[in-house]
Structure 1
């Protein structure tokens, strides 16, 4: 009976047109569905589909439609109240401090749970508006010091801009290690898990948020690598064990396992959604021309803002080239200034530039962060109708798209699971803009499956990474974990403090490095350097990285085949005047089968993933192992790599110029705005200088740089 009622309503809503009697039947069916607990979510979806066609509904049925909207909790979709009872209902759903915006029923439930002091885990669809609850809680001033843990730098920027626009006068907004807060003052820290672990001023946090909490699950490798999942677990443990209340948010999962009972959390799983989805499956083969033709057809037929999900930067380039080559992709004036600037700052033939000329944005981890931000902004403003992206954009960024095309059913080289597929599809549609999102899946979709998130830091099951256990205080280890740690460290002739300090480097690798240093008596003193190493010293440390730390496996993808070659590349970057000089060199010396665009992407990936992240960790581990060995032998080590590590982490740029890329200021523009930097200049000092930029300086900037300046300045941190 219920199934036939639902199907009748769906068939009528799909029909080319409807008359008054059809609407009477539709609304009657929706009323029956909404009164049945088992079909409440279904009724909400169908009511949203009816709202998409509200202009057709006879006025005499509008009151009935509004009653249905109330019944399924879609309060923001209600018109202004007609009587006292409606006014009271709407007033009860007003989100405090958010300019009269209304909660829907699920948001109100979650908000009240948080305000009553409970720990909450909200597992709900992408469109449910989980972040709005954060804004309302901050507005309520219940918590003075807040930490929001987000998975990416891009999401740091989006969250910072949103919260700074509303709370910069009342709270310090802190996103980077170089920023400090006044003890006891109101502060909102917006950090990745790595930045949470690196800070020592988070002892008195009142409330913290973990965005995309499913990335706590180490088994599923959803966090962007096991190291990141480990760090997220440790960040959660660091804050939760301090007594801070928490709010974990993420897409719908079937359950959460492992959060300690002492936290007394409330798990709220919900299929509540504020949009409906039309999902079309084409079941096309992975290889061949059919997918390419279908992509061009979909883009040609759907004019609304469209996200195209691809598994990797290379696949983004492939999809972009297909659309560039399509006859229907003319040049656009909306991005002329941006593409003119890109042609000036990057080598020719970069696919990002070519695509942007035709209103197509590309967003993935190799694109500089400031340009990622421009892509999102231009897409939101309608300058770009298409945004091709990897999971760096799909997971968490609040993009507005009517359509989503799932071009690949993989993430990197792994097949996408059903959970990740739902997360991608959930980016289609947006409350208040598109009632119905369209999702086009080119390949076979993954089979439906359950998703149970396990928080390993609490349960410490067999197989928990040793790096996680090494990051925990000994008193927080289970008996089995304590025995595992003792067994592992007893096999290595290094102090436990050294092994813990290098927990991101597996213990066997630390052992190999230690053995190399002990055996190289002739060269051991070449590690006793500080500040900037000379050529011989850099060569030797790079040889250790290449031979003992997996460098051969990691670096061959960057066409680096020896430690000496790695040292030469590092020196070339350090001596380059501009980013383009380094990228021009990568293009000129690329492999024969590699395109110039691929060489640019590879060079950018090397800078971001290796130079700024992996290399500093390797260098730090070598320093600490060398000091440990020298101390055990009764010798004094003078090794101090901190300065060189800091330089590498900042890509050998001025540190503030490098940091400002996170705020949307490209490196070349940052250099122009901050001439003659002082080594003692803080980030806030640098920002203050930018805020005082004179009109004559702005006048000589490229038009695109002026556009960036205008968009970025309002959200820069104020001292």
Structure 2
């Protein structure tokens, strides 16, 4: 029997005699180097059908499990010989209180890291790459470690896991307001942007970059973040710290060899098997929606539906709701009550959640994203409709993945991204065989090599990357490029470096405008602290005219004055609901209430809390550069930029959003200038929830957050 025949037979009610033939055939595959990986996959499929194998063949199956390195699947009760027991003990994870064991790939990587080697591990989602991090921390070899993750959502997921195991011994730092001490063991869990702003990472001796493929500049909207990730890697690695880069399967890495010694491990090792079904349905015409409804009516285990965008996720959820497949779920009533209080009741997210359908994408409030994931993990939700914001980086357990689209935003999925999404089906020790349903057509196989731009510094390397490197870290060609930009620009090298996220041309256009009438613009722009209304209008005009014209038009903002009004509305509103209602009331005629809700949420979280502060500070740096040169007192927008970043809440209260407590709830907790996350955590830990005017869901949010806090005293 060949591999295809064995897979087919394992899906049937095979007889005891056929069970023996199956194991015999798999044994031959496992014992041949060329077919070992195929043999491992078939062993996993046997475990999924273990009840079909007679007791007399159990020892044979266990022997195959051991021979392919899947030690976590060997129960200690079946380790019948001394040799078996020694093998399990050799694979035991070195974490106090843990009884888990490594599989062979995990043990290999762990030993390399403990030996002090740099490792780049490229492997499927299911292999448990994070467990190796935990084991390295448990050795106590490193007093200061950093874990760089791609999203704030993954910060909280990682924090929760590590706080449970190491919170009594390590300070866990996730937020810019948290202060560290060199004498205290510390684990930093940060995004690349946050890592670049910290001045206390010099003591880090071991760091991890999760989803390291994002170091590659792929020419898309994420290139700015990829530049930051390259700079973050360079900042940490150049100190001599050991690194462990982890991510899904790639074919190669370039840009490291000239500067660092490292071991690249591209592994096909997997702890789950995948069944992939293609339907090749057309994009338009309703057939995909019909097939989605058909699949979801049959599937009873946890299912993720991947969609290319929030709009597509709404379409998929609406199709399922219209099919009336999902009854009301009373366990979700408290969450629905809170959503109805804080947002219009017609929001698709609320309607879907009533019926047990979770929606997860970048426009959803962060605390709600975390709640939806927890409800999915616990089994309260069986269906999760999501975009790449959840697929890339957040670990969750599902048996089934349905690819509703074969695009990411408006770009066709490449094979690498497809494999990353498909890899979310199945999970070690939970679902042996993951099922992937591709409604359109699966992308053709291709190769993906990660190019680490800070190492290669090719001719097309972004100048924003090069401007932030020291002269000795630049190649000769890059040094000439940087010199050319600096020599030609009227702005100082320091301003260009601080403003690297803004194109040099746009910075220089603002420079020339300000210098055209120094006295006029000095009165308008040289402010510190809180701007007067004309001063805020002045910077909003610059932002609109020179930096964010097209972005702001997407929010229905067509002038600097309209931008000023939108910011002021957020600042003056007693509830964010007022901002949401205003966006809904003034939405375009061809859009839905849900579109209006999410446009408001996106404006507050992605624009006002992220893009606007960065561009505000870019203008601050430019005006300061100009006015200092001519002997005029410059302004400093740092305070106001921080207020915008925190949506005009105290920084500590707003930071609770990352721990699962929504800003809408945080602002109800009472007066107090909580300038740091730790101050807010101290307060919220001590507060008597029964004496607050919070909804049940809000109390549950806080209780859940409290349960994850184990802080070194």
TM-score bucket of the superposed structures, by smaller chain = over 0.9
Query: Which of 60, 69, 82 pairs up with 1:73?
Result: 69
The unaligned stretches of length 5 or more in structure 2 are: none
* Mapped contact 1:619–1:641 kept (Cα < 8 A): yes
Aligned to 1:245: 242
2:681 is the counterpart of 1:684: no
With structure 2 as the length reference, what TM-score do the two structures score? 0.98
* 1:490 maps to which of 484, 487, 504: 487
Is the CA contact (8 Å cut-off) linking 2:415 and 2:443 kept in structure 1? yes
Task: Provide, for residues 415-445 of structure 1, a one-character-per-residue CA deviation record: whole Å limited to 9, x for no partner.
Answer: 1110000000000011111111110111111
Secondary structure at the counterpart of residue 277 of structure 2: strand
Secondary structure at the counterpart of residue 447 of structure 2 = coil
Counterpart for residue 707 of structure 1: 700
1:272-671 to structure 2, matched below 5 A, reads: 272-521=269-518, 523-524=520-521, 525-549=523-547, 551-632=548-629, 634-671=630-667
SS at match of 1:208: strand
Shift of the alpha carbon at 1:101?
0.3
1:11–1:203 CA distance, 2 compared to 1 (3 A): same
User: In structure 1, how many angstroms separate the alpha carbons of the residues matched to 2:601 and 2:431?
Assistant: 36
SS at match of 1:508: helix
TM-score, normalised via structure 1 length: 0.97
Shift of residue 716, structure 1, vs aligned partner: 3.5
Rounded Cα–Cα distance in structure 2 between residues aligned with 1:568 and 1:133: 50
Secondary structure of 2:285 counterpart: coil
Identify the residue that residue 180 of structure 2 maps to in structure 1. 181
What is the rounded CA distance, in whole Å, between the counterparts of 1:565 and 1:261 in structure 2?
51
Partner of 2:109: 110
Q: Name the CA shift for 1:220/1:91 in 2 (closer, same or farther; >3 Å).
A: farther
Write the mapping of 1:21-36 to structure 2, written as runs, cut at 5 A.
21-36=17-32
| Separation (CA, whole Å) in 2 of partners of 1:569 and 1:701 | 28
Give the C-alpha shift of residue 6 in structure 1: 2.1
Task: Tell me which residue corresponds to 2:210.
Answer: 211
Residue in structure 1 matched with residue 709 of structure 2 by the alignment:
716
Whole-angstrom CA distance in 1 between matches of 2:410 and 2:602: 17
* Distance in structure 1 (CA, Å) of the matches to 2:158 and 2:701: 18
CA distance in 2, matches of 1:407, 1:143: 44
Written as runs of structure 1 = structure 2, the 5 A alignment for 1:14-93 is 14=11, 16-80=12-76, 81-93=79-91
What's the CA shift string for 1:208-227, capped at 9, x where partnerless? Answer: 00000000001364xx6111
Q: Does 1:134 align with 2:133?
A: yes
Post-superposition shift, 1:483?
Answer: 0.4
Could you tell me how far apart the structure 1 residues matched to 2:575 and 2:598 are?
16
Give 5+ residue unaligned stretches, structure 1: none
How far is the alpha carbon of 1:491 from its aligned partner? Answer: 2.1
Determine whether 1:194 maps to 2:185. no
Listed one character per residue, the Cα deviations across residues 20-70 of structure 1 (whole Å, up to 9, x for unaligned) are 111111001000000111111100101111111110101111111111111
1:474/1:416 Cα in 2 relative to 1: closer, same or farther (>3 Å)?
A: same
Q: What SS is found at the alignment partner of 1:453? A: strand
Query: SS of 2:304's equivalent?
Result: strand
Conserved 8 A contact 1:156-1:190: yes
Contact 1:684/1:717 (CA < 8 Å) preserved in 2?
Answer: no
Which stretch of the first structure deviates more once superposed, 513-522 or 357-366? Answer: 513-522
Mapped to 1, the partners of 2:65 and 2:366 lie a distance apart of 41
State the shift of 1:522 in Å: 5.9
Please tell me whether the aligned partners of residues 626 and 637 of structure 1 are also in contact (alpha carbons under 8 angstroms): no
How far does residue 592 in structure 1 lie from its aligned partner after superposition? 0.9
Distance in 1 of aligned mates of 2:257 and 2:484? 26
Assess if the C-alpha contact under 8 Å between 1:274 and 1:431 holds in 2: yes
Q: After the TM superposition, which of the residue ranges 470-479 and 530-539 deviates more from structure 2?
A: 530-539
Per-residue CA shift, 1:92-150, capped at 9, x if unaligned? 01001151101001000000000011000110011000000001111111111100000
CA distance in 2, matches of 1:573, 1:657: 16
Distance 1:370 1:327 in 2: 28
CA distance in 2, matches of 1:145, 1:249: 19
State how far apart, in whole Å, the 1-side matches of 2:618 and 2:237 are: 29
Deviations along 1:207-251, one digit per CA (max 9) or x if unpaired, are: 000000000001364xx6111000000000011010000000000
Q: SS at 1:472's partner residue? A: coil
1:606 Cα offset (Å): 0.9
Bigger shift: 128-137 or 5-14?
5-14
Shift of 1:608: 1.3
Partner Cα distance (2:292, 2:133) in 1? 37
Please state how far the C-alpha of 1:327 moved relative to its aligned partner: 2.0
Task: Report the Cα offset of residue 163 of structure 1.
Answer: 0.1
- The alignment covers a number of residue pairs equal to 708
Query: Do the aligned residues in 2 keep the contact of 1:292 with 1:322 (CA within 8 Å)?
Result: yes
Provide the rounded CA distance (Å) in 1 between the counterparts of 2:579 and 2:445. 46
Per-residue deviation, residues 175-214 of structure 1 (Å, max 9, x unmatched): 0011111113211000000011000000111100000000
Q: Distance in 2 between matches of 1:325 and 1:712?
A: 35
**Partner Cα separation in structure 1 for residue 39 and residue 143 of structure 2:** 40
Q: Distance in 2 between matches of 1:230 and 1:381?
A: 37
Deviation at 1:447, TM superposition (A): 0.9
2:331 is paired with a residue whose SS is coil
Q: Matches of residues 93-108 of structure 1 in structure 2 within 5 Å?
A: 93-97=91-95, 99-108=98-107
